[in-house]
Amino acid sequence: MKLVFYSVLIGLSFTFLTSHAWADQNMTISTGPTSPMFNSVNIQTNTYSNPTYNFSILPPHGWIPTNQDSTPDTTLAVFANENPDREATFAIYYYQGRPISYSVLLTPDSQILDMSIAKLFDSSKYTIYQKNIERFSDGFVIQAVAAENNTAQNTPVIEEFSFWLDDGRQYFLVLVSSRTGFLQNAAEFEKSAYTFYVGPRPTDVHIPPWVKNNAKWWSDGTIDDQNFMNGIKYLIEKGIMTVPATNSTGQSQQIPSWIKTSAGWWANGEISDGDFVKGIQYLISNGIIRVQ
């Protein structure tokens, strides 16, 4: 995904960006933000929702959902303005990453921004003209201004906002616009982005049956630790279980016998999915087991 912006190349002044709540051009180091990233009041007016990924939004007026058969699997929604004079699309993407660690929270904004931009851009193809970050109590939002080195007149203009939640969920709102209609399209896009709302991760944990079977076999010695950990890695990769920050940088330790007992209880339905996950999270956060 690319964060590309052509305001510098086409000589336009996009003043609406400077007033954006997510774009702090002076870029300071945040100290203990207390406000959440999303405003729950928006739920009352949002007309598009995705219960699977727990978000909703009010699309720009007159923009309609488009056919997504040819879009990447990570695309959650695409809207088009259907205006041939200033055609544009607005897409929402999702990626499940790892939770934001405590060490990242202690990192200055400028360093987080530089690292994020380096991951999102190929520096040999793009020039960065502006980059902004704003922290919230539940994560941070990144906005960038850049230009592709190819400056052909028909090259589309792209604007993107990246929402990085502290539990590892990442949402990307991307506008791809014709140059001639960019100012109006971007204004409508940003107005819509303000309505974007992501709810908290559900507290109920639903784990595939085969993982529970693995736990039973692990508890009675039928499979080894590595096979059991493969199931845990699956839960993490699919976002079913989040990985807490670890307090240890050493080697994995022997898994306590009580966690195998707990796995047996869980497999037999004697404790809940949530209780079992908490036990695994405890082992990870204390460096007893490692899942890299």
Per-run averaged pLDDT (10 residues), the chain, 292 residues: 34 34 38 79 91 90 77 78 89 88 87 88 79 90 78 77 91 88 90 93 70 87 85 76 55 72 85 77 73 60
Residue 221 lies in a domain: yes
Task: Quote the number of domains for the chain.
Answer: 2
Residue 139 lies in a domain: yes
Residue 250 lies in a domain: yes
Residue 47 lies in a domain: yes
* CA nearest neighbour of 55 among 195, 239, 222: 195
The enclosing H or E element of 284 equals helix 273-285
Instruction: State whether 183 and 214 are in the same domain.
Output: no
* Distance in angstroms (rounded) separating the CA atoms of residues 225 and 219: 10
Instruction: State whether 276 and 156 are in the same domain.
Output: no
* CA nearest neighbour of 32 among 113, 131, 106: 106
What's the pLDDT at 246?
Answer: 53
* Distance in angstroms (rounded) separating the CA atoms of residues 211 and 214: 5
Please say whether the beta carbons of 146 and 128 come within 8 A.
yes
Instruction: State whether 154 and 72 are in the same domain.
Output: yes
Distances (CA, A) of 242 to 26, 187, 253: 33, 36, 20
Instruction: State whether 192 and 215 are in the same domain.
Output: no
* Distance in angstroms (rounded) separating the CA atoms of residues 158 and 144: 10
Last residue within a domain, chosen from 166, 198, 230: 198
Last residue within a domain, chosen from 167, 198, 229: 198
Instruction: State whether 77 and 192 are in the same domain.
Output: yes
Instruction: State whether 166 and 220 are in the same domain.
Output: no
Please say whether the beta carbons of 138 and 166 come within 8 A.
yes
Residues whose CB falls within 8 Å of the CB of residue 246, separated by 6 or more in sequence, listed in order:
284, 285, 286, 287, 290
Residue 292 lies in a domain: no
From first CA to last CA, the distance across the chain in angstroms is: 25
Instruction: State whether 156 and 253 are in the same domain.
Output: no
* Neighbouring-strand partners of residue 93: 75, 172
Residue 158 lies in a domain: yes
Instruction: State whether 108 and 247 are in the same domain.
Output: no
Instruction: State whether 30 and 141 are in the same domain.
Output: yes
Distances (CA, A) of 32 to 105, 218, 253: 9, 43, 34
**For residue 86, what are the domain limits?**
15-198
Instruction: State whether 190 and 217 are in the same domain.
Output: no
* Distance in angstroms (rounded) separating the CA atoms of residues 161 and 100: 18
Residue 215 lies in a domain: yes
**Longest Cα separation, the chain:** 69
Last residue within a domain, chosen from 135, 164, 198: 198
Instruction: State whether 183 and 64 are in the same domain.
Output: yes
What's the pLDDT at 203?
Answer: 59
